A and B are shown apart, each in its own frame.
Chain A
Amino acid sequence: MIRQENVTSRDLELLNVALDHALTPQEQVEFDQRLCDCPYLTALYRQQRRLKSTMGQLPSCKVPHNFTLTRAEARKAKRGGFLQPVFGWASAISALLVAVIFGSQLIFNNVSLTAPMSEDSAQTTMLREGPPTEAVPEEGAGIKTMASEPVYLLNWNSGYYGIGGKGGGSEVYDTGGVSINIYIDPNALSTGETAAMEGVGAGEIIEPAPTEVMAIPEAEILPETIPTVVPEATTVPTPSTRVHQAPKIYGIDPEKVGTVLKETPNLSLAQLEQPAAEQSQADEAVKSKPVVPIQVSIGLLAAALIFGLIWLYLKVKS
């Protein structure tokens, strides 16, 4: 019984090369030595030689016919070879375009959803919720506190100076349900006239434009908080060399405390809400409107499918 002990992978490697008569002289010496040492390797070598010899003697088959191509076959082969890649590329490009279109829409929608709201759309400010809080005057802030009831502040007064500095709109102080716009004539300030405000009700109220007022329930008026809205910083120092003239003092008419000035005439409360709603709808429409018409996307998708199927058919057929 021949045992396969002591036969290494190196022996098998040399055996195979020996079968193909490709041993180098050095390998031939090494292999002959191994054949002498290992009877199993010798037997294996004999068997493999016999196998190789037998396989080499297998009768070759005669070709059933010549495999040459006729002119017609050659033309057909070339035509089929041309159409298949054309449809393949067309399908791939269509699919790529569809992917780009849907991908871009997805990206744009995500970007627009996370974008901050434009400041231009905040011309009408609504105060709806939250308990009454203390009035905290703050430089540059449009609204200081939140009212307990909805109060519509129409304070977009371009060209006027608000208390607390120059700006596109007037400063608004909420006094717990009553909002007041205070206007100072910029012409008076620019000429260096003193504009001292000595307190609520001490001066003359001058309304810069005919306005329409909306009544606020009396119960929500807190007149005792009104003096807090007049900061001392609004007093303009008077140069000592200038001729003192009678200052124009603007203040708050106590009789009109509790009213809200509105500079947009002929608009009802419902109409005031309308621009915001329309803006919101317009924004939604812009967001939902696809960059590329949906018909184009569907057409491209259909083209990708059809071209792909034709390509597959031609591939299977060929």
Chain B
Amino acid sequence: MLMEESLLIEKAVEGDLDAFNQLILTYQDLAFNVAYRIMADEAAAADATQDAVISMYRKLDSYRGGSFKAWFLRIVTNACYDELRRQKRRPSIPLEPETDEGDPIESPEWVADKSPGLEETMMNAQLEKAIQDCLNKLNDKHRVVMIMVDVSGEDYETVAEVIQSPVGTVKSRLSRARLKMQECLQSRGELLPHQFRLNNEEKDD
């Protein structure tokens, strides 16, 4: 696999578009999901990932070896940061349905799946939404580390290469991010499904 990847990288650097596309296909799921967790929006994540791919193709000459996955993720996270900065400069209003009082309906009824297992699906959706909200409250540096380690399951070395910092920095950021995440989820514990409440010791293994 690594031999094949290094061969593809070599060809891509020489200008072989097919080899480059092959590499993109290998890592696009991971890159898109990291972008999606950072951006919390599918369309924005897709834009950021596409921007990152174009940027990678331009910068292929500057690729100096190392983990291609880490390089790809670094460019994706940078694209996400750029997109987030753009969004902060030009905030957009989401097209969500509103109640009679003007409050947005976060989980409109017409979106809900009417198929069997509805309760479980709703609970999972609530949990995911709570986690994503808490992730969004973290600062960018903590969020990226937590997404890559706890959501994507990357190791410390890869994350350190992505954020271009020592492994110790990754550990310390991860520690703070987890504590903040826990505080955030506990603060909204009543909104979470019972079995997912973090302070519910009976459910612990």
Contact = CB atoms under 8 A, between A and B. Distances in A.
* Physical interaction between A and B: yes
Interface of A: 12-13, 15-17, 19-20, 22, 43, 46-52, 54-56, 58-61, 63-69, 71, 73-74, 77-78, 80-81, 318
Given A43-B201, A60-B29, A61-B36, A71 B17 contact: yes
Contact of A50 (B49, B153, B198): B198
Contact of B150 (A22, A55, A66, A74): A55
B143 to A, nearest CB: 12
A56 B148 CA distance: 10
Interface string B66-108: 0000000000000000000000000000000000000000000
B150 A56 contact: yes
B38 interface: no
A54 B131 contact: yes
B150 A69 contact: no
B173 to A, nearest CB: 10
Interface of B: 17, 20-21, 24-25, 28-29, 31-33, 36-37, 42, 45-46, 49-50, 53-54, 57-59, 124, 127-128, 131, 146, 149-151, 153, 156, 171, 174-175, 178-179, 181-182, 185, 196, 198-199, 201, 203-204
B151 A68 contact: no
Given A22-B156, A58-B128, A67 B50 contact: yes
Nearest to A52: B150
Contacts of A64: 42, 46
A69 B151 contact: no
B17 A65 contact: no
B171 A13 contact: yes
A54 B150 CA distance: 9
A22 B167 CA distance: 13
A65 B42 CA distance: 11
